[in-house]
Chains A and B, each alone.
Chain A
Amino acid sequence: MGILLVEVSFVILGSLLMIPALSPAPIQVLTRWYPPRQITALHLGLRTRYFITGLFVLSLLFDTPMVYGLLGFAIFWSIKEQFTTMPTRQSDRRTLFLIYLLIPIQLFLIANGWEVASVFFLPVFVLIILPLLMWSVERTNFYDALMLMQWGILATAWVMSVVVTLWLEPLKSNPIVAGGGLMIYLLALAQINMLIRRNVTLRKMTS
């Protein structure tokens, strides 16, 4: 009964969140508060956020396939952000492409329930195969490039894939809160952290 109530409330919340993402209503609200120059960017940003939140809330419900899609995409997005921010070598383009191909393999391992394999697959690849690949392609600046890459992949893809595992395999001791509940907890933690950090740094900068 409790679980059903949670699920129904998620459906309602998810659908409600999708409305502002698809309707022109926010733009009318925004025009009251902001100068017209900023409206387009604000509106688009707001719409994207509502869309992501709605998608997330809905996917908390329809367990497996949608979660794989969403989290596979989230892993991909995080790796891409990492590769964009960190300096990469031109000669590593093919290696980078290969790393993107690891995401489906990793998801396949998780989906099959091979927990040990899914935990060890990325670190083994990153520590043993990746150095060989990168060394064979280009030797200048090798250590810098390799370490950035290793750290980047483990901090994004590997960590995120652990989250996927936890989401999809609710702990036996606490079937209501584990899984989706854990995701919400993690997200709330990350968002509050970001909010506080941003406000504190802003205040420090202005004072």
Chain B
Amino acid sequence: MGKILRFLFFAGFIRPFVVLILGLRVRNRERLPVKGPAIIAANHNSHMDTMVLMSLFPLKQLPIVHPVAAADYWLANRWITWFANNIIGIVPIERKRKSRDDDPLQPCYDALENDQIIIFFPEGSRGKPEQLSEVKSGIAKLAGLYPDVPVVPIFLHGMGKVWPRGDFMIVPFTVDVVIGRSLKGSTCSSKEFLRRYKTRIEKLAAQGNFTSWV
């Protein structure tokens, strides 16, 4: 039941909305992973980010694509929890550690071991519209533990214009998606990995000559 509802929600609502109302301009679509396990790592400005990234994949891949999301936000009450688990299909992670042995990224490990494609936002939470925020270390940890899993960096532009944080109104703009070559964590330390990820995202951002939004 949940699966059918999820399919209907994405095929009938999210995808038409993203493609027809917003409009996508995707560069290097062939670099998207075709099968799991894989990690999609994108910059984060808006809730729309997740929707756009999930619309990039063909519909038959939908069952294996799951966004990583903050448990304290998405599992706040019963209705949102149901929606997040069954319709969006999130991988919930705790932003605050409960005890010392607790690993907040445990749900991500489970998903990757089940050959899923997870959508990860290394910046943590939604930053200011159309600005890159500081990258947190979670992505490097994941890449270090799963050295063979490709990390695909994706730069998104325009989402902060469409639906910035703290606003209720969605205004249509064409959205740019620049997909980069995948990184692997096996070859370097986590600090080095973060640096590589950051430079790659900045290079992708430079490809489009995007102007900042004031």
Contacts and interface: CB of A to CB of B under 8 A. Distances in A.
Contact of A93 (B26, B167, B211): B167
Where chain A touches its partner, the secondary structure class is helix
B173 A84 contact: yes
A41 B172 contact: no
B213 interface: yes
B214 interface: yes
Contacts of B101: none
What are the 5 A-B residue pairs with the smallest beta carbon separation, nearest first?
A84-B174, A84-B173, A97-B171, A40-B30, A80-B172
Contact of B169 (A37, A39, A94): A94
Main DSSP-derived SS at the B contact region: loop
A76 B172 CA distance: 9
A41 B29 CA distance: 7
Contacts of A68: none
B129 interface: yes
A49 interface: no
B127 interface: no
A38 interface: yes
Interface in A88-103: 88-90, 93-94, 96-97, 100
Interface residues of A, number: 22
A71 B85 CA distance: 39
Interface string A54-98: 000000000000000000010011001101100111100110110
Instruction: Classify chain B's interface size.
Output: 10 to 19
A44 interface: yes
Interface in A136-168: none
Interface string B135-159: 0000000000000000000000010
Interface string B187-212: 00000000000000000000000010
A13 to B, nearest CB: 24
28 contacts: A37-B30, A39-B30, A40-B29, A40-B30, A41-B26, A41-B29, A41-B30, A44-B29, A80-B23, A80-B172, A80-B173, A80-B174, A83-B173, A84-B173, A84-B174, A88-B161, A88-B213, A89-B214, A90-B129, A90-B214, A93-B161, A93-B169, A93-B171, A94-B169, A97-B169, A97-B171, A100-B171, A100-B172
